[in-house]
Amino acid sequence: MKKSAVVALAVVMGALLVLTTGQVFSAQKAFNLDDIPEIENKTPLTLPLEAGGEEDTLIPFVKQFEEKTGIPVNTEVMLFAVMYGKENIELVGGTGAYDIVIVEASWTNEWAPYLFSLEELAEKYEPEGVEAVRRDLVYLDAGLRRMASTREGVIYGWPYECYTLMNMHRADVFEHPRERANFRRRYGYELAPAKIWDQLRDQAEFFTRKKGDKLKGEVLTHDLYGLALMAGRFPHVQDQIGAILWGMGGHWAKIVRDENGKPLGFRISEQDKTLLKATFETYVDLLQFASPGSLNAFWDFVMAQFSAGNIIIAPALYDSCYPWMSAWGPDVGPGARIGGAPTPMTQPYCGNFHFAVARDGKNPEGAYWLAKWMGSYEVHKAWIEAGFIPSRRDVVEEPMYRKPELHEKLGWIPTMLETWDYQYPFVNNYLHFNSAAFGKIYDFMTELCHDVARGALTPQEGVDEWVKTFTELQTKFGQLPVLK
Amino acid sequence: MLNQGDEARIERLPGEFRERRPAWQVLTSEKYIKWFLVIPLLVVLGVFAFYPLFYCLYMSFHEAILIRPPEFLGLDNYRKILHNRLFWNSVGRSASTVVVCVGIEITLGLGIALFLNREFRGQNIVRGLCLLPLMVSPLAMSLMWKYFLEPQFGIVNVMLSWIGFSQVAFLSESGVALYTIMFMEIWKWLPFSIFVFLAALRGLPKDAFEAARVDGASPWFTFKKLTLPMLKPFMMIVILLRVMWLIRLSDPLFGTTQGGAGTEVLDWYIYRIAFIRFDIGEGTTLALIALLMTIIIGAVLFRQLIKALGAAR
């Protein structure tokens, strides 16, 4: 009797949960322009967009918003390289130049004083109040939600684009019997996407071959390299190095909290220093198998090297590159196929951009609804179909995107979800999502990681430089101290 | 109408005897008109040059990071910068860029100008083509060279492979990248020195050369004793301008290395500290140090230019 009561209760609870989620799910899917109430403030909005194709996808949705609300929207397209500087100066100066800003996840803590939180806006403008926002945010990945929030857990924007580093490789080469047998003979284990960085090194060494050697039994007409790295002085080198460090269990600097979870400061432990040195050594070691040019490279170079058949593995590259990497060049030969797997140790950078409403904007109400519209299911669906990576799990998990024939364009989805799920418990402790000085630290990391990669600093010098300059920058620009 | 002597006498009279003239007449009088005309320039300079300059100076004594009010630091920013290896590295790179680029541009520019100074078929087409690099926008130029010099697909490496050379990672090898940047800069600015020298050569007095020819002077002697001294003022103009422009070099880095591979020159370093890190105190200090260097070098070169002009008279 007791047992059946428990079962019945469980069934009822389950059904309620399914029904509730179902309602929310359909409500969320149904959110569209018609749900936006009449907005009296018709002051035009200004919205920055990143150059490089996304504006082509988003602008039609901006136009729809204009037609629905009668609020004109000016879009300003800019390169990512100048985005932080441009937006930062307008926000800090309180110029009101932008009603909405694009915020990279790691800038959230820094810009929080200049932005409205979503709940603050929802309280004012949502007919259903903050509950409406909380319900809508359920469809974002939990890790991405945390990244778009401050260290206190306040969320400031609607994530619309994300980028997760993943391991992309030539699946046809990895599956080739002769290559597999040769690899097994040489290294004593099966050839498969690397789970740890040592395996990646073996694979990089194995596939680095000279012109005239063979690949899949065919004579190579050019030199072949195991991998390509984004080791140039661009804001990507530290993402790759960070993937190794986090995977080893280290931190650039770890946030220290009291027993109530209140952040107290950052600390770089002796173990972190040791692991950072090992990380630098690993990265420098991998560079010997990287295609020439890696020291001035970012993602476009790695993509081109992969598509041209000059490399076999892109070990830590943004998933947003995946859909473009199967445009095989004439030297690749028939049967080339891309494969995706998590980066070794599955702890790479999973950043995202979110649209947040600026406090100095002239029309926060209009900005709120435009940002929400940009985060809607409909826009994200268009986003994924245009070849970009959305932040909404309900879009990414749609069965229609899992068809085998879509592998070349959407084969990144399972890997990304696996990485998101694996990463989630760690995200809250990462420096990137806790420091209010990260925009500045990011620039220093670029300089440091590149200098170590090119040999201008030894790994030990790199660690010493990191500890010294991180402490300086965090103390000067951040709000939390660096603890001894 | 008063003449100049009357005006001076009136000036000396006690106030109550002076003729009262409308302000417009006073301002347009010979005594004041020159100052009146210079006012717009002074206003523009004051607003756009002196005010920012003094504000920079003020900021350089402060910790100014935008997110809180500036805090007085005294000379800390200067002390910090002068002890910073990145600053001195960037100064060293800027200095070598100036020396190499100016040296090559002067030598090559003069050589090509001498060649173009002759009459030959299609001379106007050749001269026009020589001017092309100057017309390319700096960012487009840096992107163009980035793709030309790409290690595997770039046309330069493809051509090198045709003649049996191995690939060169022009923009990623630390020992090579700075020279590649210098090459790009020379490629863009060589036409400037070519055309300055060409114009100068065209304007040289013919009679002196005719006399040297009649006296049987060799072409090398004529070049050394006549052409070169007469060109010296033009050479100094090219050196002066190019040195000042090269100290402010940053365009070729934008589309290529972004300061990586050992190419961070002084101007890029300033840009990064001031507009990426937004450390305005340190950034303005760096900018002022760079300005001071430019003024000192510029003053030395300007003196040489004046000397050269005097000698050429």
Question: Does B173 lie at the interface with A, CB-CB under 8 angstroms?
Answer: yes
Question: Does B167 lie at the interface with A, CB-CB under 8 angstroms?
Answer: yes
**In chain A, where the domains are located:** 35-163+350-424, 165-348+428-483
Residues 6+ apart with CB under 8 A from A362: A43, A96, A99
Give ipTM to 2 decimals: 0.85
Per-residue pLDDT of A431-471, as tens digits, reads 999 999 998 999 999 999 999 999 999 999 999 999 999 99
Nearest CB to B260: which of A84, A450, A477? A450
Q: Are B189 and B242 in contact (CB under 8 A)?
A: yes
Q: What is the mean pLDDT of chain A?
A: 92
Cβ-based contacts of A234 with chain B (< 8 Å): 258, 260
Q: Pull the structure tokens for residue A343.
A: 């980066």
Q: Does the domain spanning A165-348+428-483 belong to CATH 3.40.190.10?
A: yes
Among candidate residues A343, A345, A305, the one with its CA nearest the CA of residue A325: A305
Look-up of token digits 């430019």:
B294
Task: Calculate what percentage of chain A has a pLDDT beyond 90.
Answer: 83
Decide if B151 and A291 are in contact by the 8 Å CB cutoff.
yes
pLDDT value of position A27:
41
Among candidate residues A468, A467, A448, the one with its CA nearest the CA of residue A458: A448
Q: Pull the structure tokens for residue A306.
A: 């992969």
A and B: number of Cβ contacts within 8 A: 87
Q: Pull the structure tokens for residue A483.
A: 């603890």
Among candidate residues A9, A26, A50, the one with its CA nearest the CA of residue A394: A26
Task: Calculate what percentage of chain B has a pLDDT beyond 90.
Answer: 77
pLDDT value of position B4:
56
Give the phi and the psi of residue A88 in degrees, each rounded to 5: -60, -45
User: Most confidently modeled of A132-136, A202-206, A218-222?
Assistant: A202-206
Decide if A84 and B276 are in contact by the 8 Å CB cutoff.
yes
Per-residue pLDDT of A219-260, as tens digits, reads 999 999 999 999 999 989 999 999 999 999 999 999 999 999
Q: Which helix (H) or strand (E) holds B82?
A: helix B76-82
Question: Does B257 lie at the interface with A, CB-CB under 8 angstroms?
Answer: yes
Could you tell me the fold of the domain covering B83-312?
MetI-like fold (1.10.3720)
Q: Are A424 and A59 in contact (CB under 8 A)?
A: no
Q: Is the pLDDT of residue B237 over 60?
A: yes
Decide if B67 and A293 are in contact by the 8 Å CB cutoff.
no
Q: Are A313 and A192 in contact (CB under 8 A)?
A: no
Q: Best mutation site among B258, B265, B280, B282 for testing chain A: the one with the most A CBs within 10 Å?
A: B258
Q: Is A165-348+428-483 the same fold as A35-163+350-424? A: yes
Q: What is the Cα–Cα distance from A142 to A113, expressed in whole angstroms?
A: 23
pLDDT value of position B25:
81
Task: Give B236 to chain A, closest Cα distance, Å.
Answer: 37
Question: Does B157 lie at the interface with A, CB-CB under 8 angstroms?
Answer: no
Q: Best mutation site among B87, B278, B280 for testing chain A: the one with the most A CBs within 10 Å?
A: B278
Look-up of token digits 């280290």:
A250
Which CATH number describes the domain made up of A35-163+350-424? 3.40.190.10
Burial A165-204 (b: 16+ CB within 10 A, else e): bbbbbbbbbbebeebeeebeeeeeeebebbbebebbbbbb
Q: Which residue does chain B place closest to A452, by CA atoms?
A: B261
**In chain B, where the domains are located:** 4-60, 83-312
Question: Does A296 lie at the interface with B, CB-CB under 8 angstroms?
Answer: yes
Residue B30 binned pLDDT confidence (cut-offs 50, 70, 90): confident
